Amino acid sequence: MPSRPRKAGPRVSVLRVGHRAGRDPRLTTHVALTARALGAERLYLHPPDPELAQRVRRVGEMWGGSFEVEGVDDWKRVVREFDGVVVHLTMYGQPISAVAPKLRTQSAILLVVGGAKVPSALYGLAAHNVAVGHQPHSEVAALAIALEQLRGVPGPGAWPGATHAIVPQARGKRVRKVRELA
Ligand SMILES: C[S@@+](CC[C@H](N)C(=O)[O-])C[C@H]1O[C@@H](n2cnc3c(N)ncnc32)[C@H](O)[C@@H]1O
């Protein structure tokens, strides 16, 4: 799918509800890395997982940006107090193609993804329940497509504060050093 470069888009935060530390660290790490790489500002992680947050912080030290993982004990509070539009990604929701044009005009969005079990209260608390297709798949896939629809895919180039940046190649791998780690 061609990327959709858009200069401006809503600022996006992500809330991952129902993380099971020790059981799905890899999946939740991929939620965090996908959120970061596709332009979200932060991941609220419920419940907190400091080791995961530290791993993602190390990725940011190398590749730049200011993405952060913030552990939360009370996910409902994050949803209620978010200063923007709360969008719950669920296969039961409205098609993303119908909702995305309106969402792109917002200034701040909280994208909420669930885990193995999704608390039913979330459906009522969200301003929008939005489906990325109407078949079950993955929080990582749903998040990636939602971020692409809202903000497009970032182009190449070093991110602020990066020590390294990728030089795109037709074949092979090339990484340039941007600066030394302070
Ligand atoms: C393994 S699924 C959870 C399925 C769960 N049985 C439920 O109640 O929805 C984990 C998360 O992936 C996301 N997800 C999965 N399929 C989706 C779809 N088709 N559209 C949007 N989000 C989806 C949702 O955020 C969901 O909470």
The model's pLDDT over 95-140, given as tens digits with 9 standing for 90+, comes to 999 999 999 999 999 999 999 889 999 999 999 999 999 999 999 9
pTM above 0.85, yes or no: yes
Pick the CATH number of 11-177 from 3.40.710.10, 3.30.750.24, 3.40.1280.10, 1.10.1740.10: 3.40.1280.10
Ligand 1, atom 4, lies closest to the CA of 116
| 148-to-32, 41, 49, 86, 134 alpha-carbon distances in Å | 15, 14, 26, 17, 18
Cis peptide before 95 (omega within 30 of 0): no
Per DSSP, 2 falls in state -
CA of 112 to the centre of ligand 1 (A): 10
Close Cβ partners of 31 (under 8 Å, ≥ 6 residues apart): 14, 16, 43, 113, 139, 140, 143
The model's pLDDT over 40-95, given as tens digits with 9 standing for 90+, comes to 999 999 999 999 999 999 999 999 999 999 999 999 999 999 999 999 999 999 99
CA of 38 to the centre of ligand 1 (A): 19
